[in-house]
Every structure is written in C-alpha cells, then in structure tokens.
Structure 1
Amino acid sequence: MAGEPSFFEIGVADPERGRAFYGALFGWSLEPGPSGRGFTIGTGGLPGGMHGGDEHASPYLFFRVDDIDAAIARVRELGGSVEDIGQQDPDSDARFGRFTLCRDDQGSPFGLHQPPRA
C-alpha cells in the first residue's frame, strides 16, 4: 500500500561503529551490502541499510521497543544520548504509547516508541 514505509537508511560517519551500536541495541543482523561500503539491516520486519561517510545524516525513524525505560538505559550504556522531551500526557500515552528522541554514539538521530499496552 502506498505511504507505508518499505525501507529505511541510516547514515553514519563510521559504518563499523554503527553496526556495533545498532546490532547491540536491537539485536539486528547487519551484513555487508551490495556496494561493499555499508550494510544491509535485517530487522525481521522493515528492511534497511546503513552507509558510512555521512557525519551529519538525519534518519528519523522511530523503533518499537517493549520497555522504553530499559531501551533508554541501553542507549546510554552504548554511548548514545537521549533528549529530554519533558513530561508526557498520560492520556496520550494510553492512546499512542510513549516516545523519545535519541542519538547514537556518533550523533545520528533516531526515536524509540513503546506502543500502548493492550
């Protein structure tokens, strides 16, 4: 269907560091890409890729997590950072889940999303 994500790309300065960071954070399989200069990303869902030499790239995807607090702690353990987005609205949390914006250990932005509990 048109409008649904079909691929994502993460630009980083150093693809080997990116591979280590995202592989450790999400358990992704990152295999050498067809160009030999990056990686294909196996997520079990949406396919993706990673390329290097892109210090100021700005991918902006939210990745689903089961426990956002645990994921935030893991981001920090791996050398990433989490932006303070302030107090969230409990009614919004119940309807849409919890969100936060992060940066990996190279400064590339991404988001975390914990869907609402059923």
Structure 2
Amino acid sequence: MAGEVSFFELGVGDGERARKFFGGLFGWAFEPGPSDGGGFAIRTPNVPGGLHGDDPGARPYLFFAVDDMDAALERVRALGGSVDEAGPGSGEESIARFGRFRLCHDDQGTPFGLHRPPQPD
C-alpha cells in the first residue's frame, strides 16, 4: 500500500459549482465534509477525494499512502524536501473519517501529499 495514490484533493473558488461540474462530468457522489473544514468528500469508483472552496489558485493534490506518517515525514526532510507544518484535516473527526494528511514538497519544490488512511479500531 505504501506509495500508492490513496486520496486526491481539489481546491476551487466555488465548491458548489465544482461539485455540479465534476458530478456531471464523472458521476461522482459528494457528501458534506467534516464540520472542521467544510467542503465535500468525493466518492469515486477507485480513489476517494475531497473538494474545498475559497481556494481559486489551488492545484489538485495527490496524496500517497504511507504506513508511518512520522517516519515518512522524516524521510522527506532527509531527502531535501520540506513539510508544510499545518496539515489539512487535522481535527479529530477528520482524522477518524479520512486519516492523517500532510502536504509536502520534494527537493525541487513540487507539491505532493502524504496520507495515512484511517486505521481500523
């Protein structure tokens, strides 16, 4: 599982408008996101996603699965990359529902994300 695409996030200017567009284009199902972040959870046939508004300059983010978030973040730094200190979806409800996320940049500045999916109880 480590290294596989496990989640994607779309940042857009108008979340409701994007929901209608991508729902119409791909037939994706949308659910309201957690109360701490708004937006929508996206259900696709393969990889789950998220959509948030009020972010018109955002690019799509791909999140890659990791088994140990702390070890993966240390490895990013050791390889010359950087880790954004404020991670998205850090509230308890969001972590329980979607897992842990951290935005990172490789050693050339390319953005990507790490994702530790929710763990079964």
Output the TM-score relative to the length of structure 1: 0.48
Output the TM-score relative to the length of structure 2: 0.47
